[in-house]
Amino acid sequence: MIDDAVKLVRLARRPVSLSGAGLSAESGLETFRGRDPEALWSKHDPLQMATPEAFEANPQQVTDWYAWRRKVLAQAEPNAAHRALASRESMLHVTQNVDDLLERAGAREVIHLHGTIGRNHCAANCGHEEAIDMADPPPLAPCPTCGKWMRPSVVWFGESLPEAALEGAIEACVECDLLLVIGTSATVNPAASLIPLAKEASARVVLVNTEETEAGRFADVEIIGKAGEVLPKLLG
Ligand code: OAD
């Protein structure tokens, strides 16, 4: 399996990665789903933490939860999988992750489908936005421009993805000759739909995950293993 995947990765001229929370798991960031009992959606209700309605109903609770995640991220370091991906300079990275670990590993081109936890913007969309200090995240605060609450610049359930990010990801997946899919349960659309899209457009698909997923049916090669152990072998 690894040898087949190594060949596909080496031969690729337009490789693209599509990653999910499993990519950052070995950096100490919890995934949302999967067998891990600590997975975020096993401990928290996404409807209470990751929807615009949840923020409207209880902005303090949502802000505190993101402050906790921000502090964890401030302490985290890129792992061997981030470094291996970043080392392939011609690879474009599409990620569902809101962390900046790919960038910190040196990746040049990263498309964040679900936004970034490193910024806040006005919940009323007046246009005000700001970078935040992850080690010392701001408390719930009003927008300095319009007085509505500031919120994390991430995509919540029920919200549209940033248009430019989605368009860029679709174009990359249609044009790539290899899609390397890492650490995603492939359950959330439209991100998950990029996998069949690339396959139909004739890319080879390699999956790396600690468990089998629905996306397996689109894979040319499916490798069950930890991203931090598998990716250095594929890309080294
Ligand atoms: P999930 O938590 O749904 O899936 C993580 C996947 O990573 C699972 O399939 C695990 O088996 C796998 N995994 C865990 N550790 C791994 C490791 N060390 N190496 C390789 N694989 C590993 O995360 P996503 O698919 O990213 O959205 O979830 C998609 C979206 O759902 C997220 O962006 C988030 C979430 O709700 C929002 O918050 C809007």
pLDDT tens digits for 57-88? 999 999 999 999 999 999 999 999 999 999 99
**Per-residue DSSP letter, 97:** -
8 close to 184: Cβ distance less than 8 angstroms: no
From 82, 112, 114, 121, active-site residue:
114
Q: Which residues line ligand 1 (CB under 6 A)?
A: 20-22, 25-26, 31-34, 39, 46, 50, 96, 114, 155-157, 183-185, 187-188, 208-211, 213, 226-227
Residue 44: active-site member: no
Q: What is the mean pLDDT of the chain?
A: 96
In order of 81, 89, 215, the CA distances from 208 in angstroms are: 11, 20, 11
> pLDDT grade, residue 236 (50/70/90)?
confident
Ligand 1 atom 16, closest CA: 22
Q: Which residues are CB-neighbours of 52 under 8 A, at least 6 positions away? A: 123, 156, 158, 159
pLDDT at 43: 84
Q: Residue 162 and residue 149: Cα distance in Å, rounded?
A: 20
pLDDT at 1: 82
213 close to 18: Cβ distance less than 8 angstroms: no
Give the ligand 1 atom nearest the CA of 41: 36
pLDDT at 219: 98
Q: Is the pTM of this model over 0.85?
A: yes
pLDDT at 93 over 90: yes
Region of poorest pLDDT, from 10-24, 30-44, 164-178, 213-227: 30-44
Instruction: Compute, in angstroms, the gap from residue 39 CA to the centroid of ligand 1.
Output: 9
Backbone angles phi, psi at 181, to 5 degrees: -105, 120
Q: Residue 169 and residue 136: Cα distance in Å, rounded?
A: 32
Q: Give the count of beta carbons closer than 10 Å to the beta carbon of residue 3.
A: 8
In order of 11, 23, 57, 81, 138, the CA distances from 4 in angstroms are: 11, 21, 50, 19, 47
Instruction: Give mean pLDDT, residues 45-49.
Output: 84
> pLDDT grade, residue 199 (50/70/90)?
very high
